[in-house]
Amino acid sequence: MKNSKDIINYINKIPKSELHLHIEGSLEPELMFKLSKRNKIEIPFKSIEEIKSAYNFSNLDSFLKIYYQGSNVLITEEDFFDLTWEYILRCKQDNIVHTEIFFDPQSHTERGIKFNTIINGIDKALKKANSEFGITSKIIMCFLRHLEEESCFDILKQALNHKDKIVGVGLDSSEKGNPPQKFKNLFEAAIKEGFVTVAHAGEEGPPEYIWDSLNLLKVKRIDHGVQCLKDKKLVETLIKKNIPLTVCPLSNIKLCVFDKLENHNLKKMLDKGLRVMVNSDDPAYFGGYLNTNLIETTKALNLSLEDVKILIQNSFKSSFLDESTKNSWLSKI
């Protein structure tokens, strides 16, 4: 690796932005255990070590099973505050100055947790992050694509009371068998209400899902998008329209999208001129927060300092920050 020590120092010190982070996916085993005891919720693990050993996934669905089990311990506003605050402390450690987090309200409302409980806990932690550390943030509400559109419309209705907190909507959960077209009407309604749209596409699903996310859901960003290289015309369109792709390398390895990090296609995407960046996705489950993702990917793909700079710049450029704030951070990279 080229000047590896210098590049790693640069990654650790430079201000960064993160655009693909599921707050429920930052639930560390220690906090899961603590909340299960606090709320007297039974989980199928007897120790922190047992939880960690269960984090061995063969695909997206095998991960989601444990992910939803973990979410069961989140009950009160305090729980959602604690969850978010722990991630914020990681942001401070990794020098993340801006983060745009996903949350999955349906995985909680389906268990009887009130929407207000979820959003208020998250929002209070993010406000504290800004006042104490100067970390800025945006909240994106994700719809679970394995559920029916009707259930998603109900959640959208509840989100309307929180437009001051929620900037956009996204689409996550099981990609295969749940194409974007299933949510065309939902996303049209969300756009009419003033929400920006993003969607997970081309992680395990085909390039067609990326096309449909662009054309039917009118998304501003594609989350993952690594399957785009299978379609030359799609790549040309993504470059022409400057569509950001929020790539999550360690997640892709953990969920067997690629067999090893050395075979990840991030460098190829970068070299083609696609607007890619690195993110941590569900870091508690996938073995690393943002800096770890950047460092491990840099080592595995032999990225240059210039490559790393472009990845970090792309993240700020693709954020939902205002232009003057973006430019202010970009001037520091």
For 21, the enclosing helix (H) or strand (E) is: strand 16-22
Query: With contact defined as beta carbons under 8 Å apart, do 252 and 291 qualify?
Result: no
For 210, the enclosing helix (H) or strand (E) is: helix 207-215
Question: What's the rounded Cα separation, in Å, for the pair 38 and 124?
Answer: 20
Please provide residue 150's backbone torsions phi and psi, each rounded to the nearest 5 degrees. Answer: -60, -45
Residue type, 298: T
Q: Which of 30, 203, 204, 236 is labelled catalytic?
A: 203
Please provide residue 148's backbone torsions phi and psi, each rounded to the nearest 5 degrees. Answer: -75, 155
203 is catalytic: yes
Give, as one character, the DSSP assignment of residue 255: T
From the list 16, 11, 13, 10, the residue with the least C-alpha distance to 319 is 16
- Rg, the chain, Cα only: 19
Give catalytic residue positions: 203
